[in-house]
Amino acid sequence: MKKVRVYLDTSVISHLQQEDVPEKVEQTKKVWEILQTGKYEIVISDLVLAEINECREPKRSMLKEYLSIINYEKVGITLETEEIANEIIAEGILGARSFDDCLHIASAILSDCNIILSWNFKHMVNIDTINGIRRITFAKRYNNIDIYAPYVLLNEKD
């Protein structure tokens, strides 16, 4: 059986070291334990790595250390990724100021991911974005993709 492909946006990785929200840190660390098992195929983009590199030390090194203990596929940002991101903006799903969020979504779509995990409730994990992305994936005949907060993986039955 094919594994579920999960795209991690930067907010998930960042919340492994986000002291101002201890409940999210705790949940994210539990999710990270699940990701270490290999149950899911994990995907991140070049943008995720670039955003991590913008973090200050020691957080940057700690996040890179967390990444080193999971297996993941890294995907690049391509012209097609940018085209889909621009379409998300043109459709009014997200604004131009959220271009990087659009790139994360487009990267996940083009990588044939089943799920995007994000703590970004303002731009990604909300009904308007989810429905808008479903319209785009349906119209362009891409596979449907779900956008969830990381804790949904904690509710799965083994």
**Residue 155 has what pLDDT?**
74
Band (pLDDT 50/70/90 cuts) for residue 156 is: low
Domain around 9: 5-155
The mean pLDDT of 51-57, rounded to a whole number, is 96
Place of tokens 């596979």: 143
**Residue 1 has what pLDDT?**
82
**Residue 157 has what pLDDT?**
56
135: domain CATH number is 3.40.50.1010
Question: What's the CA dihedral at 130, 36, 41, 72 to 10 degrees?
Answer: 100
Rounded to whole angstroms, how far apart are CA atoms 106 and 108?
A: 5
**Residue 80 has what pLDDT?**
97
Band (pLDDT 50/70/90 cuts) for residue 19 is: confident
pLDDT digits (tens, 9 = 90+) for 62-118: 999 999 999 999 999 999 999 999 999 999 999 999 999 999 999 999 999 999 999
Rounded to whole angstroms, how far apart are CA atoms 11 and 155?
A: 20
List the single range of 5-9, 17-21, 108-112 with lowest mean pLDDT: 17-21
Dihedral of alpha carbons 116, 119, 122, 128, sign: positive
The count of structural domains within the chain is 1
The mean pLDDT of 116-135, rounded to a whole number, is 97
pLDDT digits (tens, 9 = 90+) for 29-53: 999 999 999 999 999 999 999 999 9
Q: Taking CA 107 as the corner, what is the angle to CA 106 and CA 110, rounded to the nearest 5 degrees?
A: 80
